[in-house]
């Protein structure tokens, strides 16, 4: 019964989402999006490649760090180090590893909250240079990473 209700509910939500995008009337924009941009093109031309480079380097560093920690653990086990000592040595690393999903959740949530805020304030940001919108985005990101740092410092 629960499966049927879940399937019916998900199909209903999908139906509503698909048909919510249909607009039988053609609407015209009140402003020209090419002239009155909230976020300038230079931000995307420079920021997006830097963001993807950051993600790539972060992935490489994380993989290398995990592999080196695994090798170090294997070497310590081979030398006969007690389990209690291993737990004490890798306690901090274990806490950081457990909080990785929280870090990325906070990152995604802060970007979404910043974009919603920019969308709500778009009438005030239309004649601005666009860097105010980037300031809002960076502010939300810094708050998210401050929250993550506070959580991490309490656990360690």
pLDDT digits (tens, 9 = 90+) for 121-155: 877 777 676 778 888 889 999 999 999 999 988 87
Token pair recorded at residue 107: 């990152």
Token pair recorded at residue 147: 């929250």
Dihedral class, residue 82 (left if φ above 0, else alpha if ψ from -120 to 50, else beta): beta
**Do the Cβ atoms of 114 and 139 come closer than 8 Å?**
yes
Q: Could you tell me the residue ranges of all domains in the chain?
A: 91-156
Positive or negative torsion for Cα 43, 46, 49, 51? negative
pLDDT digits (tens, 9 = 90+) for 13-66: 776 666 655 555 555 556 566 666 666 777 778 878 888 898 899 889 988 988
How far, in Å, CA of 137 to CA of 117, rounded?
9
Q: What pTM value is reported for the model?
A: 0.55
Candidates 149, 137, 119, 118; CA nearest to 47 is 137
Q: Count the helix, strand and coil residues of the chain and give each as a percent rounded to the nearest 5.
A: 80, 0, 20
> Is the pLDDT at 104 greater than 60, yes or no?
yes
Candidates 128, 140, 141, 129; CA nearest to 42 is 129
């Amino acid at each position: 019964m629960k499966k049927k209700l879940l399937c019916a509910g998900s199909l209903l939500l999908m139906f509503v989402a698909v048909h919510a995008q249909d607009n039988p009337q053609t609407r015209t924009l009140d402003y020209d999006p090419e002239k009155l941009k909230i976020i300038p093109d230079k931000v995307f031309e420079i920021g997006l490649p830097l963001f993807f480079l950051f993600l790539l380097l972060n992935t490489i560093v994380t993989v290398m760090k995990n592999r080196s920690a695994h090798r170090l653990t294997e070497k310590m086990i081979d030398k006969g180090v007690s389990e209690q000592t291993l737990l004490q040595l890798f306690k901090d690393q274990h806490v950081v590893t457990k909080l990785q999903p929280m870090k990325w959740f906070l990152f995604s949530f802060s970007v979404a909250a910043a974009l919603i805020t920019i969308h709500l304030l778009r009438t005030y940001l239309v004649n601005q240079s666009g860097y105010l919108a980037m300031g809002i985005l960076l502010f939300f990101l810094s708050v998210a990473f401050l929250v993550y740092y506070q959580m991490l410092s309490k656990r360690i």
